[in-house]
Amino acid sequence: MTDLQPKQDRSRATRQRLLETTIRCLATHGWEASTVGFIAAEAGISRGAVQHHYRTREALILGALEFMFDERAALLDALPEPTGTGLDRVHTVVAGLVETIGGELFRAALQVWTVAAADPELRAAVLPLERHFARGVHDRAVRLLRVDDADPEIRALIQATLDLARGLALADVLTDDSRRRARVVRAWSTQLADAFEGISPDSQDT
């Protein structure tokens, strides 16, 4: 039993390193370059060790995508509870969502989405993961903003916020768009806070 535990720990550590390396390779080198052999070399493990955990490239990519969504969800969960009210609170939450949704994890996911758009089998595997993640992000946004998305208008505003975050992440893929992003986040936060203020208090948490 004592011999088994270190082996299991090493196996988990190897799998995590492999998934993290897969994400980095996808984000940095793209889909075509991210073969099993390339990822194995980047991770510093043998091709056989990769195939011990994931028999095919597709299984590895999907495993990395699921890991990626879990990592992004963890980042959202790690966002501190905003202490302000009104516009200050809304801006803090929107800025946190935008920063968390973008970055390396988004760039890696974008590579997979692009291929999945023309690959029905991959798309069928990716969509449930994406929908599960999207629901989770929506629920976290609702919690941080302290609103009740049973109101259709509020629900639409939350969805628009998440769509905005993805759009800004996409705009940041080729160039550093941080200055423009900050202005857009501030402008949308102001509109969002005003919209929440104008909706009946009965539809929001107090």
Q: Which helix (H) or strand (E) holds 118?
A: none
Query: What is residue 60's DSSP assignment?
Result: H
Report residue 174's pLDDT band, with 50, 70 and 90 as the boundaries: confident
Return the pLDDT at 176.
79
- pLDDT surpasses 90 at 43: yes
Return the pLDDT at 100.
87
- The C-alpha atoms of residue 31 and residue 17 are separated, in whole angstroms, by 18
Question: Mean pLDDT over residues 5-26, rounded?
Answer: 86
Residue 188 lies in a domain: yes
Residue 124 burial by Cβ neighbours in a 10 Å radius (0-12, 13-18, 19+) = exposed
Return the pLDDT at 5.
63
Residue 205 lies in a domain: no
- The C-alpha atoms of residue 184 and residue 127 are separated, in whole angstroms, by 29
Residue 172 lies in a domain: yes
Report residue 201's pLDDT band, with 50, 70 and 90 as the boundaries: low
pTM of the model as a whole: 0.81
Mean pLDDT of the chain: 88
Structural domain count, the chain? 1
Return the pLDDT at 205.
47
- pLDDT surpasses 90 at 4: no
- pLDDT surpasses 80 at 1: no
Residue 128 lies in a domain: yes
Report phi then psi at 69, rounded to 5.
-65, -40
- The percent of residues above 70 in pLDDT, for the chain, comes to 93
CATH number of the CATH domain containing 169: 1.10.357.10
- pLDDT surpasses 60 at 203: no
Residue 204 lies in a domain: no
Residue 124 lies in a domain: yes
Report residue 25's pLDDT band, with 50, 70 and 90 as the boundaries: very high
Domain residues for the domain of 179 are: 4-199
Report phi then psi at 147, rounded to 5.
-125, 165
Residue 20 lies in a domain: yes
CA angle 173, 175, 181 (to 5 degrees): 85
Name the nearest CA neighbour of 115 among 17, 19, 33, 15.
33
- pLDDT surpasses 90 at 26: yes
Name the nearest CA neighbour of 69 among 130, 135, 140, 128.
130
User: Are 154 and 196 a contacting pair, CB within 8 Å?
Assistant: yes
- pLDDT surpasses 70 at 109: yes
Per-residue model confidence as pLDDT tens digits over 51-95: 889 999 989 999 998 888 888 888 888 878 888 789 999 999 999
- pLDDT surpasses 90 at 173: no
Residue 206 lies in a domain: no
Q: Which residues contact 92 (CB under 8 A, 6 or more apart)?
A: 82, 84
Return the pLDDT at 103.
86
- The percent of residues above 90 in pLDDT, for the chain, comes to 56
